[in-house]
Amino acid sequence: MSKDGGILARYAMTLETLAAAPDGLSLMEVVQATGLPRGTAHRLLGALRGIGYIVPRDGRKIYVLGPRLLRLLHLGVAPAAVSSLVQPMLEALVARFKETAFVAKLVGADVKSVAMVVPESDGQSFVQPGRVMPVHAAASAKAILAFQDEALIDEVLSRPRTRYTENTRVGEAELRADLEQVRRQGFALCDEELDPGVLSYACPVHLEGAGVLYSIGLVGLSRRLGDHPQSEVVAILRAAAEEFSKSLPSGLHRPVIGEVPAVPEERSG
């Protein structure tokens, strides 16, 4: 059977066929579109479903691209690519709070700031997109890390931590508690943990089906930013995160509502 590509060629073809179909495809539609034999197409779809690259929609016979693939694609996108998307949102935040607004992204096991807008009033505080945020002392990093899987969290927490200020939290148990709190509350807060006198908030950006890869936040002097009620800041950041999420090429064609019951069947073996 050796056509041109290798064994993966037909998987890739199948994925692209599904990607091109806004509402998903049934087995027979895939067969027609790809020219694969029925049994073969069925097996390929099963294998793709097995690794979460595609997902059955609604009932069980219509397939769409799945969350795992979406996440992979997001991870692969260069940070700079999103900066133009979020610029207007960040500017709106700055206009609202007169503080620096920024977006951070998970890159490998680091969290990097990828876009930032600074209020005109304090021009001295310049921006360094690409800066790696310390995971234990930056709200932006905690907001993202809290929603990663255990393996990544373990890896991150196994690294050495600098005590930047007397507020910096360096104990592993402390930090795990922080992350738990972030998960519960839906936002992260760093109060002079990185720089003295500086306060920062960050909200995770939940990508539909792809988990959390970005956070959006505010930084400013505790004296000023602290004047705003926490609930107000968080509410507005949450709204911005939601808007950001929607503006990203997140959603695949159809909302993947149903949960993915990870590896439901493993029979016949």
Partner DNA sequence: GCTGATAATTCCGTTTTATGGAACTTTGTT
Partner DNA sequence: AACAAAGTTCCATAAAACGGAATTATCAGC
Query: Which residues from 49-68 bind DNA, rule CB under 7 A?
Result: 59-61
Task: Say whether residue 198 binds its own copies (CB under 8 A).
Answer: yes
Task: Say whether residue 5 binds DNA (CB under 7 A).
Answer: no
The residues with which 32 forms a beta bridge, in sequence order, are: none
64: enclosing H helix or E strand? strand 62-65
53 CB contacts (<8 Å, ≥6 apart)?
Answer: 15, 65, 66, 68, 69
153 CB contacts (<8 Å, ≥6 apart)?
Answer: 145, 176, 179
The one-character DSSP state at 131 is P
Of DNA, its own copies, none, which one sits near residue 264, judging by CB under 5 to 8 A according to partner kind? none
Task: Say whether residue 231 binds its own copies (CB under 8 A).
Answer: no
Q: How far is the CB of 64 from DNA (least distance, A)?
A: 13
242 CB contacts (<8 Å, ≥6 apart)?
Answer: none
Of DNA, its own copies, none, which one sits near residue 39, judging by CB under 5 to 8 A according to partner kind? DNA
DSSP 8-52: HHHHHHHHHHHHT-TT-B-HHHHHHHH---HHHHHHHHHHHHHTT
Task: Say whether residue 7 binds its own copies (CB under 8 A).
Answer: yes
Of the candidates 71, 198, 226, 186, the one whose C-alpha atom is nearest the C-alpha of residue 133 is 198
Task: Say whether residue 16 binds its own copies (CB under 8 A).
Answer: yes
The one-character DSSP state at 69 is H
Of its own copies, DNA, none, which one sits near residue 37, judging by CB under 5 to 8 A according to partner kind? DNA
Q: Which of 27, 42, 85, 170 binds its own copies (CB under 8 A)?
A: 85
Of the candidates 211, 188, 201, the one whose C-alpha atom is nearest the C-alpha of residue 106 is 211
CA atoms of 193 and 130, how far apart (whole Å): 20
Q: How far is the CB of 231 from DNA (least distance, A)?
A: 47
Q: Coil, helix or strand for 259?
A: coil
Q: How far is the CB of 106 from its own copies (least distance, A)?
A: 8
Residues 24-43 close enough to bind DNA by CB under 7 A: 26-28, 36-40, 42-43
Task: Say whether residue 231 binds DNA (CB under 7 A).
Answer: no
Task: Say whether residue 6 binds DNA (CB under 7 A).
Answer: yes
Task: Say whether residue 2 binds its own copies (CB under 8 A).
Answer: yes
Of its own copies, DNA, none, which one sits near residue 125, judging by CB under 5 to 8 A according to partner kind? its own copies
- Number of residues in contact with DNA, rule: CB under 7 A? 22
Considering only 135-143, 168-176, 179-187, 226-234, which stretch makes contact with its own copies by CB under 8 A? 135-143
Residues 55-84 close enough to bind its own copies by CB under 8 A: 65, 68-82, 84
- The contact set with DNA (CB under 7 A) reads 1-2, 6-7, 10, 26-28, 36-40, 42-45, 47, 59-61, 268
